[in-house]
Amino acid sequence: MEGKTTVAMPVLEIVGLGYCSWDYLGIVSSVPPFDSPTVSMADFAASAGGPASTALAAAARLGASTGFIGTVGDDEPGCQIRAALSRDGVDLQRMRLEGGARTPVCLVLVEGQSGRRTILCYRGTPSVITLGEQDRTYVQSSRFLHLDGHHLAAAIVAARWMHEIGGTVVLDANKPREGLDQLLPWVNVLITNQYFPQAFTGHERREDAANALMEMGPQIVVTTLGQDGCVCFTSDRNWHSPGFVVPVVDTTGAGDAFHGAFVFGMLQGWAIERAAQLANAVAALNCTALGGRAALPTLQQALALVDAVRDRTTQS
């Protein structure tokens, strides 16, 4: 009797678990009302998207070894997502390909004057992820686990696995979700948009909301502020890390790119200030082309922006 074939798991630095989609993006002057005449788009693109998966692509572009646990259908969008992640260098050994399921698809309307966007999502029909022993080995091969709040039950299990080995759990929180309070005690670093802290805690002041969030588990809370950069909170201090001015085409994926770069900075053992600075630079550069990953920079490109701004500040 032949023995079972075992597949060696890669040793990764960052593993992500969460949502992915295939995005269709168009630049328009405004969002047209129903029954209006046909509106011409100034540009059009298609791109892989999703919070955790884009963060992993960003970290991989910077030089980290990353892997993704997610699920797509075996349709054309699902195949496109897998191909895009593979090109970005993200390991897909534990990504689910579900026969007969429809992959999530998003339509993104980008305002030509500002780069702001409106996203319409079809969530698709893939099954909720259930984790097994191979996933445990995969997660525990890494040093960082990045979550985006999707597949919440699996996220909690994976976060507990990461704590077993003394790893770091990072959560991207963009809106309150049912059951999130059960995940937060397992989160080390919480990165939010500017709306989540008040919406989740009820505190109007940013500092009070951050303190309330840290009482739930995270040791570090970072809130992104778009073009204004981010604010960082720890138990003993808080500070603002300014953003970078670039020619903005499309803000899609900027926050996701920030998350991937911030985790990359922590992976290098950098101070939070330096990780936040890099993340702001990566997020800014990702806004210079149409699509959530079209302008993800290399580490050299991101550091060049940081250095250029530092040099101008020093000379002024």
Taking CB atoms within 8 Å and a gap of at least 24, the contacts of 161-166 are: 161/136, 162/186, 164/140, 165/140
CA dihedral angle for residue 305, residue 308, residue 314, residue 315, rounded to 10 degrees: -150
Q: Residue 111: its pLDDT value, please? A: 95
Asked if residue 173 belongs to a domain, the reply is yes
pLDDT digits (tens, 9 = 90+) for 187-233: 999 999 999 999 999 999 999 999 999 999 999 999 999 999 999 99
152: domain range?
A: 14-19+51-96+130-310
CA 47 – CA 292 distance, rounded (Å): 7
Q: What is the DSSP letter of 33?
A: P
Q: Residue 1: its pLDDT value, please? A: 40
310 burial (CB, 10 Å; 0-12 / 13-18 / 19+) is exposed
pLDDT digits (tens, 9 = 90+) for 33-74: 999 999 999 999 999 999 999 999 999 999 999 999 999 999
**What value does the mean pLDDT take over residues 273-296?**
97
Closest-CA residue to 19 (of 92, 176, 126) = 126
Q: Is the pLDDT of residue 258 over 60?
A: yes
**pLDDT, the chain, mean:** 94
pLDDT digits (tens, 9 = 90+) for 13-28: 999 999 999 999 999 9
CA 255 – CA 293 distance, rounded (Å): 11
Q: How many domains does the chain have?
A: 1
CATH number of the domain bearing residue 69: 3.40.1190.20
pLDDT digits (tens, 9 = 90+) for 153-186: 999 999 999 999 999 999 999 999 999 999 999 9
CA 80 – CA 54 distance, rounded (Å): 14
Q: Is the pLDDT of residue 2 over 50?
A: no
pLDDT digits (tens, 9 = 90+) for 27-37: 999 988 999 99
Closest-CA residue to 139 (of 46, 14, 36) = 14
Asked if residue 193 belongs to a domain, the reply is yes
Give phi and psi for 237, each to the nearest 5. -165, 165
Asked if residue 40 belongs to a domain, the reply is no
Q: Is the pLDDT of residue 122 over 90?
A: yes
Asked if residue 186 belongs to a domain, the reply is yes
CA 171 – CA 134 distance, rounded (Å): 22
Asked if residue 2 belongs to a domain, the reply is no
- The predicted model scores a pTM of 0.94
212 burial (CB, 10 Å; 0-12 / 13-18 / 19+) is middle
Chain-centre distance for alpha carbon 231: 17
**What value does the mean pLDDT take over residues 76-88?**
97
Asked if residue 143 belongs to a domain, the reply is yes
Q: What is the DSSP letter of 142?
A: S
Cβ neighbours around 169 below 10 Å, total? 24
SS3 label, residue 170: strand
The two tokens of residue 106 are 């998003």
Which helix (H) or strand (E) element contains residue 308?
helix 299-315
Asked if residue 6 belongs to a domain, the reply is no
**What value does the mean pLDDT take over residues 106-121?**
94
Q: Is the pLDDT of residue 313 over 70?
A: no
Asked if residue 89 belongs to a domain, the reply is yes
